[in-house]
Chain A
Amino acid sequence: MKRDLNSFLPLSAASLHILLSLAADDLHGYGIMQEVLRQSEGKYKLGPGTLYDNLQKLTEHSFVLELGHRAGDDDPRRRYYRLSTKGRAVLSAEIARLERVIREGKSRLQSLRPRKA
């Protein structure tokens, strides 16, 4: 299982942000776009084309589940998406990988001393 998940790493920026946005709650496409914008403090704007292209891949790999329409939603065209157990696992693996990268980067930058001119 662990080996299988590692084969999907590293995740693309779009996939990572989509999985992150679904980690807290089930969302529809527009909700995911808004959540990604909020997470990245407005620096990463995900367009619908990129969003659904990635959602298609993520659903095919069963990282995300498609829930269909939700009763009572003001727009019946919206479909909701949920992070699956497998998706949560791959997200955890990606975050662990990023943590290792950050740790390595910090240690290198600390050991870096300015050179004499």
Chain B
Amino acid sequence: MLRLCYRCLLRFHPARFCERFAEEMLSIFDHVEGRALRSKLVADAFVSLLRQWTMRPQNWEQKAAASIPIGAAAAPAFFTLGELKVRKSALFCGAVLTLILYCGLFLALRHSRKHYVYLPSALSESVVSPERQPLDSYAGVYFLDPPNKLTVILTARSGHLMVEMPREWKSVLVPVSGTRFVFSDGQENWIEFSKHGNGVIYGIRVHRNGSEFQAHRVMN
């Protein structure tokens, strides 16, 4: 496998270099024993490949000199890229496209870190049916008490109550009672609603990541 890899790397060297030295380099590879040493030779061939294609333009266009003696036993066993001339503009375009591809991939990975998962199976078992109250009655904007001065926004959408905390993604809240909802990402995080005697909600107590704070409702 390593030999095949090494051979492929040699094959992709510029034609002039490949024709002159590939057989000898392969000969060295065959004389070296041990997987570690052979792996180093593969790495060396990779560096050599980069070096030849980036820093040795004289090897890109010219064929091997005709005067080089090549014995019958050393007939080239490589298919060379003799006619291939890599244009600088093509290399540049390739680099730009690669960069764009990597950026896109990076962004996709970054934005796929959190998903909205509603009702994990373990959680669903402990859910208690709350007293029937429309979710809209919980929705609204809540101001955290000083010194935080931040807002917590609760919205009811598609039958789910969602919370938007400062510097956090939106999370789904799961009802466990008429006044208490837990975050879908963990039961240890919850929101407790405070109600007036007539059922109107005026504030919340949030327990999130080990800290607890209170907020009062400012608008629906």
Contact = CB atoms under 8 A, between A and B. Distances in A.
Interface of A: 28-30, 33, 47-50, 52-53, 55-56, 66, 68-69, 75-79
A48 B71 contact: no
Contact of A52 (B21, B31, B41, B49): B21
Residue picked from A33, A66, A77, most chain B C-beta under 10 Å: A77
Contact of B41 (A29, A47, A77): A47
B17 A52 contact: yes
A8 to B, nearest CB: 17
| Most chain B beta carbons < 10 A, residue from A29, A47, A50 | A47
Interface in B22-52: 23-31, 40-41, 44-45, 47-49, 51-52
A76 B47 CA distance: 26
Nearest to A79: B24
A77 B69 contact: no
A76 B74 contact: yes
B68 interface: yes
B56 interface: yes
Contacts, number: 72
Nearest to A55: B21
Nearest to B9: A49
Nearest to B68: A66
Contacts of B180: none
Contact of B28 (A48, A53, A68): A48
A34 to B, nearest CB: 10
B138 to A, nearest CB: 68
A77 B23 contact: yes
B207 interface: no
B73 interface: yes
Nearest to A76: B73
Given A30-B27, A47-B44, A75-B27, A69 B74 contact: yes
Contact of A49 (B20, B31, B45, B74): B45
Contact of B44 (A28, A29, A49, A75): A49
B51 A69 contact: no
Given A68-B69, A69-B69, A76-B74, A53 B27 contact: no
Given A48-B45, A49-B45, A56-B17, A28 B73 contact: no
A33 B44 CA distance: 13
Given A48-B41, A56-B17, A68-B69, A29 B24 contact: yes
